[in-house]
Structure formats: C-alpha cells, structure tokens
Chain A
C-alpha cells in the first residue's frame, strides 16, 4: 500500500558503487543457493529415509533364520557381518516343493500387463467422451459411473463370482483380466486430466477437419500422457498385488498369481515368514522397473507448442 514511499533505499543497491555491491552480494547469494540445494537434499533424504524403513525391514527379515523372524532386533543374527546372514533363503524360495515361483511370476506379470493395457484403452475412450465431447445427458451418465465406485467392492464379490460361474470363467485368466478392464476409477482419473487440456486445441483440430477419432488418437491421447502413465502405474501395481479376487477365482496351482501362491509360506502347511519376505522382495523388482521407466514420462509435461504457434 504505502510501502513504496516508506521503503528506504538500500545503501548497497544505489547506482553509485555497482562493482563492490555485486562483490558483496555474490558470496551471500552463493551461500544461499548452496544451502537451498543442501536443505532440499536433506529434507528429501529424511523423508525418503522414513518411507524406506518398511522395505529395509522386509529385506532384513528375508535374510533371517526362521527362529529369529519374530524378534525385535532387525538385524539377522544380531550381527552386521553379512556373511552370517541367510542369503540362501532366496535360493530356497525356488526349491521349496509345491512352490512354482517362476510360473506364478509369469502369470502375475501377464495378468497385470493385460489389465493395464485394456484398462488404458477403454478408460481413455470413455474419458475422452466425458471430457472433450458435448452430448446431451453426458454429465448424468458420468455421475452414474461415479456412483458405482461408491458401493464397497466387498459386497460385489459374491454376485460377481456367480456371474463368473455362469460364464464358465472360474479358474481362467480371462476371468481375472476382463472384469478388471473396465473401471470408473480410470475413467474419472483420465477425464480430470483431459479437462485440463485447453479447448482451443479441439477447435483448431475441427477447423483443420479432423474427425473425432483423429482428435482422440492423434491429439488428446498424446497430451494426456501424464494421466495415462499415472493410471498405468496404479493399475499395474494394483492388479499385480491383487489378492482377494484371484483367491476366489483360482483353483489349479499352476494358474496361481504370486500373492496367492505366496500365501503358502504363511499357511498351516508351512510357516516360513523369512521365505515369504524373500519372495516378496523378489516380487517387488518388476514394479520398481516399471515405475522407474514410467515416472520419467510422468513429469515430462505437456508440450503445448501446437496452439501457441
């Protein structure tokens, strides 16, 4: 308000001595920039540290002998001597009778990939319609979509299972993949991302005579890439780890997914928490790869050069 009149002229910022002012400023600015970079690193490292602890615990438990699994000491054998740690737990996961670790691994990856692919396709089509097209009743239909998310999924398990019986899809991969390929969640997520793309792009495309399909495939889909990537990450991880539905659906051992198969380690037939942890640690690897590869796309940002000209 009145700051302009009151504000005193800083003595060093005057036009008279420019060179010493710059000299006096530079180290301070450097120190400030240094501490800013420092502080950010430190903050991120502290937060990352807190978030990594469960993973560390899992890794350390996977290297313990069975007798020590319940103990409160995180270290296997209470020692830092890594040669005394039970590395052979990892080999044991593959050799335990009744555990088809590699084929379950393959099943899990196959199912999660298919669901991700199908869901991205159906959700992005529907989201395009809800976000970028004008048609009567659009928002009402969308609300119905949204409403289906509001019933707890648990109570739909039983009716869904009966549908699977009547479609003869019990104990098949199709029965795991197809119901998961259509979600209101993905549609809602992508709709919100597509809403943030400026409408001027659609008008420009319409003037150029592009069809709606061209608009979807060539323009909106590339621009919605961060949303698609986010949905891909969520869907892949969610279905890779899904436990409830496969548990109901799968009968034959060779069709198990990893989370179902690994329950063997924690059952009455054999309590082997250290093997469960070792298997879980190995199960995480594809997720880390998928995430590291995809997250770069996530933060690339939209290139809006098309409209700015």
Chain B
C-alpha cells in the first residue's frame, strides 16, 4: 500500500478512491459502533481508574463524589490471589474447547448427509417406530406406574425416529438445535437436577458400575495399579513424543515455520509444567521430568538428523499445528489426571467407591461443567456454521479426490478440512473470546460460583463485584485486565491463523 502511494500520483489517487469506497461501506455500521460501543468502552476504561462503588456513590447520595484512584484497582487485582485463581478456573474450563469444536463439526457432518437416500428400506423404520409409538399410546391409556418414565422416553425415541424417517435431515437439524430455543436457563436447571449427587440419574446409573468396579479391584494385587499408573504416565510421554514427531514431520515437509512451531511445542509441554505445581503429581515428578527431557532430546535429535526437505515461511502452518497441540495437550492432561487415580484405586476401593458429588465437589464441579459444554456443543451455533460451510465445499473437489482413490479420512483431511478453514478460524477466535468471558450463566444458575469458588470464572467475578457488591470501578478493572489477555491471545490467533486461512 505504501509503495503504491509513493510511486505515482495517479496510483495514489486510486488508492484514496478505494479507501473512501471502503470507508463508505462500513459507515452505517461504524456510526452506530462509535455511539453504542466505542463510547461505553472508553467510559468503562475511565471507570477502571475510579473508586466508584454503587453503595457509596449513587443518585441518592449527591454529596459523595467518585474519585480517580489511579492504578489502585489494578494493584489490588494483582496482589489479591483471587484473580489468578479465577483465571485458572477459566483456563481449566477452556480445555473443553477443542473437543467442543470437534463435536460440532462431527454433528454438522452427520446432519449434512441426506438421511433419506441409500438403503431404500425406510418403510422398515416406519413400521418399527410406528409400532413402538402405538404400543406406547396403548400403555398410556392403561396407565403404568413404575415404568411410566421408561415408556415415555421410548415414546420420545419413537417419535424422533418417525420424524427423522419422514422428514429427513430437516427434523434432525431442528431437534439438534432445540436446546438453543429454550433460553438456556431451563437447560441449566435440568443439568443441575441430573448432577444431583443423591437423586440425580447420573449417579443413579454410576453407583452400580462403581460397586462392580470396586468389587473387581479389591482382590487384584495393588502392584497392578501401581504399574497402571506408570503406564498412564508413559502414555503421556508417548503422546508428547508423537505430537513432537508430527510437528517435526510438518516442519521437515515445509508445512510449518519455526516461529509458528514455538507455541504448539510450548502447549504440549504445559501438562508437565502443571505436574510440578500439583500436589498429587509430586510423587511422579522426578521420573516424569527425566522422561520429558529424554523425549525432548529424542525429538530434537530427530529434527537435527533429518534436516529440512522444504523450507517454510516462519509463521506458516500455525493453525493446524496449534489445533493438534491443543487436542494432544488435553489427552496428556487426561493421562496425568488418571495416573494418581489408578495409584490410589486400591485404597479407595477398600473403602468403597462413591460416585462423585459433581457440582458440590471442588474437584468434580469443573469437569461436570465441561461435560455439559460438550453436550451443548453438539447442537450449537458452531454446528450450524459448519453445516452452512460444509454445503459450500465444491463438489468437484470430492469427485477429484474419489478419482485419486482417497480414503474417507484423506477426503476429510485434504478436502473438507482446508475448505472449512475460514469457518474454523471464526469458530476458534470466537470460542477463545467466549471461553475467556464464559462460565457466567452456568455459575449464576447452577453453582453460584461454588463450591469454594471452584467454578467462579472471571466473568462471574466481574458480575459479583460490579452488580452484587456494587464496586463498579473494581469490576471494570477486572474486565480490562481480561480484555488485555483476550486481546493478546486473539492477536496471536489473528497473526498466524488469518494468514493460514487466507493464503
């Protein structure tokens, strides 16, 4: 752009013209934006430097004045341990994001198929589900007591099948998207009931399973479980190694630049760093550190020995690499989390295994919310976006892939996934922003941020500070600290992901 402006006056005139045309198109949006977003933004930034407290300074107390306190809010924020704890909670919950994106993509791919084509035996379905439905209706008239709920659910299943067979993908799409219509609160309340440790169906189903498990564990020698724990840790190292191997292959083939490789490698190492700060991880720390170093050396040697076949630009290939690293990181965390469980299993089984308390348990509340998020992702807005993007993949590309004899996975990896890149970029950016600002509804409706603050995310913290205790100045400061964090991460996404998408 600069060169065109400098080279010739005619060209610079053209650049100016295109500038004004570009501006003209964004004018309607930007005018509203200035009024209703930019001004509040600036005002809230100003608030972050004040001691505005709704209890002290409000319209009923005209004498009290809001004072500027400089950086006091931010100093308070850093010196208090709360902020870091709640930031940790937020990041913990964000580990579900890769799985949620995968779930919505999977659902979208299922829904983009025409269920009415193929087989040609839909009448069998019709018959079966109609029979089921009639049976349910008859039982309804009789009025069953104990098994009534089962019958009702079977009836629902029959109706869904019947609708799916008759109406095809439209019915399934509508049913999948149904949770979005019910305004969130009803869904959250229901999940709270499901998770109830005493009366909820989740634990009702889990307790016989756990009884069976502890009966099986008790006669087994404890050594087996010690070995199992170490196998899990070895698995964690293996995942690290495979991730590094894949990254180094991408690097060698010229699909990944060195600058773009930095963060994925760091992400893969995160679970090992966390182990050092985790009380249950301590016993494993030394062997794990040795293994970690060994894997690093091994992977480094591999990179060193193989050299590069093709050179890549420094920032290339970040999108794929970070997705891979994020997914593997969660797998590593799962291994790491299961290892102490395996080690302590004999002792726990001797006492009798109890199903977790879910939302009332400090350790289980966050996983419970993550499972719920996974469930919600199946029928989410992201699913809808993927659905729209999938239909825009040119059919010729699939035909070309079929001619080349591509397997189903190759078709997905070489045709579908690259074609979805702009949508995936949007979804990743919005998920990261949404994740850092998220957890508010679940905390407000289901847990009140508890137990012991274990589900309090930053957004819920802002809410309690600003709207419950009334300290608007401090809430603004927290929000702006969060803003800086989101901004840095999004810049990262933008700088690497956008280039990857647009080239």
Contacts and interface: CB of A to CB of B under 8 A. Distances in A.
Nearest to B184: A241
B459 A154 contact: yes
A150 B29 contact: no
B125 interface: yes
Contacts of A219: none
26 contacts: A37-B115, A40-B115, A44-B111, A45-B164, A48-B176, A52-B175, A54-B179, A54-B182, A130-B26, A135-B22, A136-B1, A146-B429, A146-B490, A148-B38, A155-B462, A156-B41, A159-B40, A163-B36, A163-B39, A196-B422, A229-B388, A230-B381, A230-B388, A292-B174, A298-B384, A299-B169
A152 B462 contact: yes
Closest 6 CB pairs of A and B: A182-B32, A37-B119, A135-B22, A129-B25, A159-B43, A159-B40
Interface string A269-309: 00000000100100110011001100110111110100000
B176 A233 contact: no
B16 to A, nearest CB: 9
A279 B173 CA distance: 24
A125 B28 contact: yes
Contact of A280 (B183, B199, B440, B472): B183
Interface stretch (B93-101, B218-226, B294-302, B481-489): B481-489
A94 interface: no
B22 A51 contact: no
Interface in A42-68: 43-45, 47-58
Nearest to A135: B22
Contacts of A72: 193, 196, 199
A138 interface: yes
A223 to B, nearest CB: 9
Prevailing SS type, chain A contact patch: helix
A185 B437 CA distance: 15
Nearest to B459: A152
Contacts of B330: none
Interface residues of B, number: 119
Given A148-B41, A159-B39, A291-B177, 4 more contacts: A44-B115, A50-B375, A298-B387, A299-B169
Contacts of A130: 26
B213 interface: no
Given A34-B121, A44-B172, A45-B161, A192 B426 contact: yes
B29 A182 contact: yes
B157 A136 contact: no
Nearest to A31: B119
A296 B459 CA distance: 36
B186 to A, nearest CB: 5
Contacts of B379: 51
A182 B37 contact: yes
B29 A154 contact: no
B164 A48 contact: yes
Interface string B39-62: 111011001000000000000000
B494 A301 contact: no
Interface in B1-32: 1, 5, 15, 18-19, 21-26, 28-32
A189 B426 contact: yes
A267 B152 CA distance: 32
Contacts of A136: 1, 5, 15, 18-19
B411 to A, nearest CB: 16
A267 to B, nearest CB: 14
B475 interface: yes
A148 to B, nearest CB: 5
Contact of B41 (A56, A151, A193, A291): A151
A266 B144 CA distance: 32
A41 B164 contact: yes
A106 interface: no
Given A45-B161, A152-B479, A291-B177, A73 B384 contact: no
B152 A212 contact: no
B19 A135 contact: yes
Interface in A173-199: 178-179, 181-182, 184-185, 187-189, 192-193, 195-196
A288 B174 contact: yes
A230 B111 CA distance: 15
Interface stretch (B81-89, B259-267, B337-345, B389-397): B389-397
Nearest to B186: A58
Contact of A292 (B140, B170, B184): B170
A104 B173 CA distance: 29
B170 A295 contact: yes
Contacts of A152: 437, 458-459, 462, 479, 482-483
A216 B26 CA distance: 13
A115 B412 CA distance: 37
A295 B174 contact: yes
Contacts of A47: 107, 110, 176, 378
Given A38-B119, A151-B479, A155-B476, A192 B462 contact: no
A177 B49 CA distance: 31
A51 B389 contact: no
B449 interface: no
Interface string A23-44: 0000000000110111011011
Nearest to B103: A47
B502 interface: yes
Interface in B188-229: 190-191, 193, 196, 199
A155 B115 contact: no
A80 B148 contact: yes
Given A163-B39, A181-B32, A299-B112, A81 B487 contact: no
B459 A134 contact: no
Contacts of B115: 37, 40-41, 44
A114 interface: no
B35 interface: yes
Nearest to B390: A299
B431 interface: no
A40 B422 CA distance: 28
Contacts of B467: 154
A220 to B, nearest CB: 11
B181 interface: yes
B134 to A, nearest CB: 14
A295 B44 CA distance: 39
A201 B467 CA distance: 51
Contact of A53 (B32, B143, B169, B190): B190
Contact of A155 (B47, B121, B191): B47
A206 B351 CA distance: 77
B231 interface: no
A196 B501 CA distance: 10
B415 interface: no
A55 B422 contact: no
Interface in A121-170: 121-123, 125-126, 128-130, 133-138, 141, 143, 145-152, 154-156, 158-160, 162-163
A302 B107 CA distance: 21
A110 interface: no
